[in-house]
């Protein structure tokens, strides 16, 4: 039957076959010399196969040059080796939202990628935000300079915490606006208790866990070859379970007072707590002669106080940490370290107070021990050190002996009364130890309790 029709068409003059090629649609002419097949008509056109994108993608092993009309985009498409299907008609660009990242949840950066420009230059790119689903360019827009394809990113504006926000990336070309898929995020809430004493926190609705940091007050520094005060004990729990609507008692410990003369004693720092989680106050630093029970040894506490020497040339040992390290199901979350040893052998110097991140350093002849380092934590969104030990005193030199990073006060030598010896407030740093003519030992820094949650 097919051959019969073909023969009829030839007889009717609709198809003319020559050595040059095949012409359909006009009698008495031959196909153009450059064409294998030529169609001629003044009233009708050529209609290629009409497929939607799903059907097009089901074509097995398409050959380069294969042509269809895509009914989804209403345009011709050609298959090209290496790049796949191509349309000469401009389309909306294609864009994906790559990621959301930021400052531990307290600010946000967004990244996106224009993977295809749609055959028309992408003149504008950015992100749109809303507290409602499906944000668009009529909502809050973060415009990113530049255009074209490829990746781009932006820092999102400051947003209130505790609210879910929705975000889409967008790109604009001559066809219009295209959007990525939607993602959502919530800016974390940060609560910091900095005033010493007891207060309450009521867990908000929808919150079942918090990141928790509890830092106790630091111990005071010793006098007369004084050892550095121990840093406040520290408890860090990345995910601590809480119950919405429940009230939790929060206590922030005060820093311990420094020793004011040889017979007096410095004071331990106060405990800090959140509910049943307790951080122990830092130990006081030792004095030269009056540690009758310890003979110049440092005292125990959240972190141990630094040791001193005595008139019998006894090198006092640094105090031990008594900070609890486990709280029920939360294991190894307490931080506290021993203080450094004092020195006494016709030359005297105080040991450094222990820190939450490491022990205090032992004194050497005439040179006090540096305070132990604090513990680094990013609960506020950026790394900070907490609970550094106080520095021990020098013998005769007025030079400072560094407290541990994280708020530890500096130890001093003779004749340097104006030196900064106190531990830093709300860091739980130990106070610096002093030689007898440099004034009282440094006070420990107060503690802090910090919560962060979404």
Q: What is the pLDDT of residue 413?
A: 85
For the chain, domain boundaries: 2-86, 94-186, 188-454
Estimate to the nearest angstrom the gap between the alpha carbon of 159 and the chain centroid: 17
Of the CA atoms within 13 Å of residue 408, those in its CB half-sphere come to: 50
Average pLDDT over residues 280-298: 72
pLDDT at 27: 67
DSSP string across 100-138: EE-STTSS-EEEEEEEE-TTS---EEEEEEESSSS--TT
Whether 151 shows a pLDDT value over 90: the answer reads: yes
- pLDDT score at 423: 97
Give the pLDDT band of residue 270 (cuts 50, 70, 90).
Answer: very high
Instruction: Tell me which residue of 27, 453, 6 sits closest to 243, measured CA to CA.
Output: 453
Mean pLDDT estimate for the chain: 89
For residue 8, the model assigns a pLDDT of 46
Encoding tokens for residue 184? 């959502």
Q: Report pTM.
A: 0.75
pLDDT of residue 274 exceeding 70: yes
404, 374 contact by CB (below 8 A): yes
429 band by pLDDT with thresholds 50, 70 and 90: very high
| Cα angle value 369/359/415 (rounded, 5°) | 20
Kindly report, residue by residue over 327-351, the tens digit of the pLDDT: 988 988 999 999 999 988 778 899 9
Q: Work out the pLDDT band at 287, boundaries 50, 70, 90.
A: confident
Query: Rg of the Cα trace of the chain?
Result: 38
| Closest-CA residue to 149 (of 128, 129, 178) | 178
Q: Check whether 169 has a pLDDT greater than 70.
A: yes
User: What's the whole-number mean pLDDT along residues 125-148?
Assistant: 96
Q: 286 burial class (0-12, 13-18, 19+ CB within 10 angstroms)?
A: buried
Tell me the residue ranges of DSSP E strands in 137-293: 140-144, 150-155, 164-172, 177-179, 183-186, 189-193, 197-202, 209-215, 234-241, 247-252, 272-274, 277-279
152-171 as b/e: b if 16+ CB within 10 A: bebebeebeeeeebbbbbbb
Condensed to tens digits (0 to 9), the pLDDT of residues 178-234 reads 999 999 988 889 999 999 999 999 999 999 999 999 999 999 999 888 999 999 999
pLDDT greater at residue 102 or residue 6 = 102
Q: Is residue 295 pLDDT above 60, yes or no? A: no
Band (95; pLDDT cuts 50, 70, 90): very high
Q: Which pLDDT score is estimated for 113?
A: 97
Report the C-alpha gap between 151 and 74 in whole angstroms.
29
According to the model, what pLDDT value does residue 181 have? 96
In the chain, % of residues over pLDDT 90: 65
pLDDT confidence bin for 9, thresholds 50/70/90: very low
Q: Are 188 and 453 in contact (CB under 8 A)?
A: yes
Most confident of 28-37, 317-326, 394-403: 317-326
What would the 3-class secondary structure string for 388-440 be?
CCCCCCCCCCCCCECCCCCCCCCECCCCCCCCCCCCCCCCCCCCCCCCCCCCC
pLDDT at 419 over 50: yes
Mean per-residue pLDDT, 4-31: 63
**3-state SS record for 287-354:** CCCCCCCCCCCCCCECCCCCCCECCCCCECCCCCECCCCCECCECCCEECCCCCCCEECCCEECCCCC
Cα distance between residue 93 and residue 150, in whole Å? 12
Closest CA relative to residue 312, chosen from 336, 292, 333: 292
Q: 94-186: which CATH topology? A: Immunoglobulin-like (2.60.40)
State whether residue 85 is helix, strand or coil. Answer: strand
């Amino acid at each position: 039957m097919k051959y019969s029709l073909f023969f009829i068409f030839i007889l009717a003059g609709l198809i003319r076959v020559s050595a040059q090629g095949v012409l359909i649609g006009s009698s008495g002419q031959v196909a153009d010399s450059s064409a294998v097949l030529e169609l001629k008509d003044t009233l009708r056109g050529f209609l290629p196969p009409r497929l939607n994108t799903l059907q097009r993608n089901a074509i097995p092993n398409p050959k380069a040059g294969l042509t269809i009309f895509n009914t989804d985009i209403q345009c011709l498409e050609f298959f090209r080796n290496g790049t796949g299907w191509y349309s000469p008609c401009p389309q909306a660009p294609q864009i994906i939202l790559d990621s959301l990242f930021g400052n531990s949840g307290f600010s946000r950066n967004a990244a996106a990628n224009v993977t295809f420009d749609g055959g028309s230059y992408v003149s504008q790119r950015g992100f749109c935000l809303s507290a409602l689903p499906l944000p668009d360019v009529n909502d809050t827009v973060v415009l990113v300079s530049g255009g074209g394809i490829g990746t781009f990113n932006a820092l999102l504006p400051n947003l209130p915490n505790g609210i879910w926000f929705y975000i889409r990336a967008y790109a604009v070309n001559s066809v219009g606006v295209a959007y990525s898929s939607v993602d959502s995020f919530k800016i974390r809430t940060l609560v910091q208790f900095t005033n010493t004493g007891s207060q309450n926190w009521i867990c908000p609705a929808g919150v079942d866990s918090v990141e928790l940091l509890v830092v106790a007050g630091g111990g005071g520094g010793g006098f007369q070859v004084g050892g550095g005060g121990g840093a406040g004990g520290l408890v860090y729990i990345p995910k601590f379970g809480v119950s919405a609507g429940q009230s939790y008692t929060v206590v922030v410990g005060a820093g311990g007072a420094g020793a004011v003369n040889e017979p007096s004693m410095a004071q331990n720092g106060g405990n800090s707590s959140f509910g049943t989680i307790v951080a122990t106050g830092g130990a006081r630093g030792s004095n030269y002669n009056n540690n009758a029970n310890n003979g110049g040894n440092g005292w125990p506490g959240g972190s141990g106080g630094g040791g001193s020497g005595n008139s019998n040339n006894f090198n006092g040992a640094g105090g031990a940490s008594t900070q609890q390290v486990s709280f029920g199901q939360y294991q190894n979350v307490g931080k506290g370290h021993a203080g450094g040893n004092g020195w006494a052998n016709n030359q005297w110097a105080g040991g450094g107070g222990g820190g939450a991140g490491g022990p205090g350093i032992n004194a050497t002849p005439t040179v006090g021990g540096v305070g132990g380092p604090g513990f680094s934590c990013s609960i506020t969104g950026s790394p900070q050190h907490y609970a550094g030990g106080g520095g021990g005193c020098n013998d005769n030199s007025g030079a400072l002996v560094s407290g541990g990073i994280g708020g530890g006060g500096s130890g001093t030598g003779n004749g340097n009364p104006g030196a900064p010896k106190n531990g830093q407030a709300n860091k739980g740093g130990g106070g610096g130890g002093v030689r007898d003519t440099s004034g009282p030992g440094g006070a420990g820094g107060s503690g802090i309790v910090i919560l962060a949650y979404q």
